[in-house]
Amino acid sequence: MPGIVAAGHPVTAEAAATILREGGNAFDAAIAALVTACVAEPVLASLGGGGFLLAQPAHGGARVFDFFTHTPRQRGSADAADFRPVLVDFGSAQQEFHIGLGASAVPGCVGGIFAAHRALGSMPLAALLQPAVGAARDGVMLNAMQGFIFRLVEPIYLTPSAAPFFASHDDPDRIAGPGDTLRSPQFADFLEVLAGEGEDLFYRGEVAASVARLCADNGGFLTRDDFVRYEVMQRRPLMVNYRGARLLTNPPPGSGGLLIAFGLGLLESVKLADFRPGELEHRRIMIEVMRQTQRARLQYLLDSDEAGRLLSEASLQHYRRQFADAVAVARGTTHISVADAEGNLASVTVSNGEGCGVMIPGTGNMLNNMLGEADLNPRGFHCWPTDRRMSSMMAPSVLQFADGGRVVTGSGGSNRIRTVLLQLITNLVDYGMDVESAVTASRLHIEDDLLNIEGGTPPAVVDALVRAYPQHRLFDGLNLFFGGAHTAARDAGGGFQGAGDPRRDGVCLVVS
């Protein structure tokens, strides 16, 4: 079937393209790409993590499959937990994460694959897993981007549990690098068994039992009951209108879509198109929207019960006043976008955090470290509520234009996801950019008064921003710190355009 896919790796994108060529729909292709990403992008995608699929069928209502991670039903002693810090150095920035079995929440990717296939798939699941099986058996040569990501997280992927899978074949004390080929016959075997036995193998069978034993013996919190009780949740997308376009995105308890909608609500009070994209006033407006969004996040989203109030008119008016005054004075995540000729749209964002350093026995995949990510634990570590779907900044989205055009997008990038997509949406809606220009335009991100400025920003604008924001960090060129918004679009006439984000070596393939 003709279509388009944008993803973070050529092998991931080709898996989706293969399924489209074989007659599968966008949802079939997205499932194939998700599983193959666990081979080609193993730091960013794993069956040990979780994510979201925003599905817009050609006929019928849109829905979000929430298969994100879930907190354990019981919280043991923090002192006895396998929970330790690691520092990830991005070169121009550093970020601390925590790993170990005590950092793992209940994984949802396997459940998400099966739930999406039951609801929307048109081909046998075994066929959809074949691209990943082939990639795992034959191996995938690490490209420069994946090699760089491995270097960032080397302490996590050279643990005794992980090193047999990710160390260099020439030097077992060194992480695999560009040019090395990673093979995982164990993962290939597991996928073939999974296709035959179904998701019970993971949630009620050998996998759940083995993870429960590991945690009981080594300082983790997960039990077999946590796996048995895991459920994929289907939700209605959060829908907001912005200057004649409609955004469908991830609803609460996810926070990313809510914060993007809030930022767009603030921008409704200014005519952004009066300013040239990239000029100083445009940048100042976007920075202030980001600042007000962060303040609102801290006020409302520490308690998920308060999240619905964020988009209330009273809340927006309060922050619009502050926004107007200010303007006057002045993580391991990957994304897949697929559209097909019938009009089906699939937007998938998945994450394993950085991984906890421990492999799931018999699967060739690493467990997540979502309980060790500060962004997902705003109350502090070991303070998470039990038996609760975790919030996430991930925001797979579909942007609908009045003329019938559709854009499928999303991004990796931890707490930068909300600012990445806010800038992308305004590039498309306010400035009418084509997809490639919207994706490649230089970005900003501000948090805790630290302004991050991506390379490509005009020098005069950089000079003015540096004077206005004493706490700042400059990046040379496009940088993976600013996300990976792999984006695909289908216009009103059925034509396709798209772009893989070059910040993460993204790829876009059109299937004819």
| Residues marked as catalytic | 333
Q: What is the Cα–Cα distance from 140 to 135, expressed in whole angstroms?
A: 6
Q: How many angstroms separate the CA atoms of 485 and 144, rounded?
A: 19
What is the DSSP track for 123-144? Answer: S-HHHHHHHHHHHHHH-EE--H
Integer Cα distance of 486 and 432 in angstroms: 18
Concatenated DSSP letters of 349-360: EEEBTB--S-EE
**Residues with Cβ < 8 Å from 207, sequence gap 6 or more?**
201, 227, 360, 361, 362, 363
- What's the Cα-to-Cα distance from 99 to each of 147, 188, 360, 465, rounded to whole Å? 21, 26, 14, 36
Which residue, 189, 419, 391, 411, is CA-closest to 307?
Answer: 391
Longest dimension (CA), the chain: 63
Pairing of strands 472-474, 450-453: parallel
What would the two tokens of residue 225 be? Answer: 């009951």
Q: What is the b/e burial string over 244-281, where b = at least 16 CB atoms within 10 angstroms of the residue's CB?
A: ebebbbbbbbbbbbbbbbbbbbbbeebebeebebeebb
What does the radius of gyration of the chain's CA atoms come to, in whole angstroms? 21
- Describe the crossing of helices 280-300 and 313-329 by its angle, rounded to 10 degrees: 140
Q: What is the dihedral of CA 263, 269, 271, 272, to 10 degrees?
A: -20
Cβ atoms within 10 Å, residue 298 = 10
